[in-house]
Structure 1
Amino acid sequence: MAMPGNPLSRRSFLAAAATAALAAPLLAPTRAGATTAPAPARRIPLLLPTPTGRFPVGVLPLHLRDLSRPDPVIPEITFRDFMVSVWYPANPGPGQPRADWLLPAAWRTFQERNVLPLDVLAVPRTHGRIGARVRHVATPYPVVIFSPGFGLDRDSATVLVEDLVSHGYVVVTVDHPHDAGEVQFPDGHVVVAGLPDDDVRAVGLRMADVLFTLDRLPTVNAGRNPSVAGGPLPAGLAGALDLRRVAVIGHSLGGATAAHLLNDPRVRAGANLDGGIFGPPLWEASHKPFLFFLGQGHDTTLDPTLHELWTRLHGFRAAVNLRDSGHLSFTDFQALIPQLAGPAGFTPEQVAGFIGTINPAASVRTARAYLRSFLDLTLRHHDDGLLHRPSPRFPDARLVTL
């Protein structure tokens, strides 16, 4: 990762904390005995902030298989397997547990890969109820598709995803195996990162995953399960998605993916959370709305790809700088790293290198508000003014021009 005071490489805004911090050890070097210390009687809980909206949250994992593409790393596998989760407003009932942030094998892989003390930390629990009934409303919910950062997985922005759902969105999060740090499939096997460092190939792979997901959403909306194993869908999911109101958002390399997908006719808007615009050649121009949400220091001086995209946008566009933030401030690690600091032995300098010095609660609150403001404006035609003028409610956000 690019630590404060170090020059930023081309990939630093694609991966920054994700590659050097997550694909390699998270923040700290291996310590003698770090993974073999006796487990405490009770594991230390890691908590995700509560969503702010009025709707409870449901979640449905889906195992998708694209027979038209081979596995990008293992030539003998003639199809592309990946996981997505559909998050939706719910009416949960008894016996519907909250989903874990990562499934057991993926959680252990995450801890081992990041040199975290094993059997000490409890996996974070999301607010999503597995299989809960969909909350019925007269108008179907707008749909947001999320692509995570390089080396991260589809659960890495749960703090943003759940909040959108609690305010009446369906959010589909997409994993990109061999790019993501760890993806657990229903049979229990885990695929870890192993994709070569090739921006064009990585973005192309992600675009194909998202486009395949878009192709399968009408099947979900018709009440049929497109996953490999099939099975019943949560009650009320049929007809709950408004596929005429779709946005694609992403963090880091996922932000580049969102930008490239603006040219798909099904996509009405896009948002880039602290990513450089790498990958295949961009389209010439777009009139679709787009949001840049950038961390401290991420500007056109260090990253000219931002200006290149800005000049091609001829519709509504906005850029927001989150002061004193880090690359992982747009992910769950803004909330989790301060909790991990003690058990993992992170120094204050290491913590600041990943999530900046911004107050974590203020950072989460601001990121949630500005992302929802953009989506409300572009998918619901509701304007709260946040993207037009400074707000005293969010002093850490600054509107900028790229």
Structure 2
Amino acid sequence: MKIGRTVRLLTDNKRKESLNDTDEKRKIIISIFYQIDENLNETKQAYYMDIFHPCQEELIKRFAGKKNLAGQKVSERYLKSININTYNNVPISKKEILYPVIIYSPGLGMDRDSLIYNIEKLVSEGYVVFTLGHIYDADFTILPDGEIVEQAKHIANSTLEEKEQLIDIRKEDVLFLLDELKILNSEDELMKEKLDLNKIGIMGHSLGGAAIFKAASEDTRIKAVIMLDGSLQHFNLTKDILEEKRLYTPFLNFRRGTIDYAEEMKKAIEFNADKMNGEEFKKRIVMRHQTLIGQIRAQKELYEYLAGYKSFIKLKYSEHLTFTDWPVIYNQEMENEILPIKEAHEIISEITVRFYNEFLCGVEGDYRNFINSNRCPQICIISKNGESLK
């Protein structure tokens, strides 16, 4: 199915931008993905470059020549050849229906539209997807007029505490968009009277996963939550658990393959050993240690904190970026030399659609029956009792 995409630049006049030194108000850029007009005869091929409109060549400038995990350089020719099914600024479907809404927040530094494979699947199944661009947090942001906003200088080397501040900023971005949906649904020339605001789901990857968790904990308009390998090290739920505070919203915690502390620390040491001086190296390794310990601790706390339907699963033989388009951009066909990226993306898309079908749209058993049927051997149920949550 061909998918439509349009971009909106929103301004939160209640917040001052805190990631730069200007007095500007906080701006949030969103992409909206939707089903296109059934009568539209769109014959040209869409390419991944198109999501960088009106600066399509930025994809080449940013990624051509970089090496993937196999040590192969990404070619300009390859980047220009990546096909997608998403078309910019085409008419929306004329069907007189309301579409359930999914809001997506990406990982630190990631482009808002870095899950095209998953977005296209969700839209083809009847959802409208809003992706949130967190300006000055993303590596770069292309505004509708072609201006390119670079990442704030301190973001790349931010501490755990600074990342927690970013999570709070992102949470506020999510809550702001929730308010804006009502306006878009009543006034926007494309989205007017198209959105079912009683069916809002949310999804986030990495740091975005932590942000959407915070948003869901504060706003009951969010009816279903999917966290894709979320940054659990930033969770501290001990006090909430002691005070018997709980989240009842249906929740899917979808993780990468097993996190082995010793193996992950070995990778961190080898990766950073020749790239920085002694103090910076020590700081980076200590941060990695804190991250790993925090993830293991927080996942157990999260299991106890969630009081509604909860599902903790992992995708075998996958890595953190498996959940994104990065392996596609880097022409990386395999992950861990076992699970093909195409297969991984098909599984992730199937799981996310089924979860929202059941817990956002009321399709009885769609997700639970699939998970319990063993039809997908690459999926492992992490725990049913909060133990062994690696």
TM range (shorter): 0.7 to 0.9
| Cα distance in 2, alignment partners of residues 62 and 371 from structure 1 | 25
1:131 and 2:89 equivalent?
yes
Q: Secondary structure at the residue paired with 2:15?
A: coil
**CA separation of 1:182 and 1:312: change in aligned 2, threshold 3 A:** same
The TM-score normalised by the length of structure 1 is: 0.74
| Cα distance in 1, alignment partners of residues 163 and 100 from structure 2 | 30
| Cα distance in 2, alignment partners of residues 117 and 317 from structure 1 | 39
Q: Secondary structure at the residue paired with 2:5?
A: strand
How far residue 213 of structure 1 moved from its aligned partner, in angstroms, is 1.3
Counterparts of 1:121-200 in structure 2 under 5 Å? 121-122=79-80, 124-194=82-152, 195=155, 196-197=158-159, 198-200=162-164
Residue of structure 2 equivalent to 1:101: 51
Pairing partner for 1:90 from 32, 36, 40: 36
How far residue 215 of structure 1 moved from its aligned partner, in angstroms, is 1.4
Instruction: List gaps (5 residues or longer) in structure 1.
Output: 1-54, 225-232, 342-350
Pairing partner for 1:265 from 196, 220, 231: 220
1:221 and 2:180 equivalent?
no
1:56 and 2:20 equivalent?
no
Greater per-residue helix proportion? 2
Q: Secondary structure at the residue paired with 2:111?
A: coil
| Cα distance in 2, alignment partners of residues 96 and 257 from structure 1 | 39
Instruction: List gaps (5 residues or longer) in structure 2.
Output: 68-72, 261-291
Structure 1 residues 343-400: Cα deviation after superposition (integer angstroms, max 9, x where no partner): xxxxxxxx646xx631222211110111111101111111345435444432111122
Q: Secondary structure at the residue paired with 1:68?
A: strand
**CA separation of 1:327 and 1:117: change in aligned 2, threshold 3 A:** closer
| Cα distance in 1, alignment partners of residues 66 and 214 from structure 2 | 31
How far residue 132 of structure 1 moved from its aligned partner, in angstroms, is 2.3
| Cα distance in 1, alignment partners of residues 233 and 43 from structure 2 | 41
How far residue 280 of structure 1 moved from its aligned partner, in angstroms, is 7.2
Q: Are the counterparts in 1 of residues 229 and 254 from structure 2 also a CA contact under 8 Å?
A: yes
| Cα distance in 2, alignment partners of residues 174 and 123 from structure 1 | 26
Q: Which amino acid aligns with 2:256?
A: G
Q: Secondary structure at the residue paired with 2:11?
A: strand
| Cα distance in 2, alignment partners of residues 159 and 368 from structure 1 | 8
Q: Which amino acid aligns with 1:398?
A: C
Q: Are the counterparts in 2 of residues 323 and 397 from structure 1 also a CA contact under 8 Å?
A: yes
**CA separation of 1:109 and 1:81: change in aligned 2, threshold 3 A:** farther
| Cα distance in 2, alignment partners of residues 83 and 124 from structure 1 | 24
1:74 and 2:20 equivalent?
yes
Residue of structure 2 equivalent to 1:393: 375
Q: Report the aligned-residue RMSD.
A: 2.7
Counterparts of 1:290-301 in structure 2 under 5 Å? 290-298=251-259
| Cα distance in 2, alignment partners of residues 127 and 118 from structure 1 | 22
**Identity of matched residues, %:** 26
1:248 and 2:202 equivalent?
yes
Structure 1 residues 280-311: Cα deviation after superposition (integer angstroms, max 9, x where no partner): 76563111100011100148975221121221
Q: Which amino acid aligns with 1:82?
A: I
Q: Are the counterparts in 2 of residues 151 and 180 from structure 1 also a CA contact under 8 Å?
A: yes
1:110 and 2:59 equivalent?
no
**Segment drifting more, 181-190 vs 284-293:** 181-190
Q: Which amino acid aligns with 2:104?
A: F
Q: Secondary structure at the residue paired with 1:222?
A: helix
Q: How many residues in Structure 1 have an aligned counterpart in Structure 2?
A: 326
Pairing partner for 1:375 from 331, 348, 356: 356
1:363 and 2:356 equivalent?
no
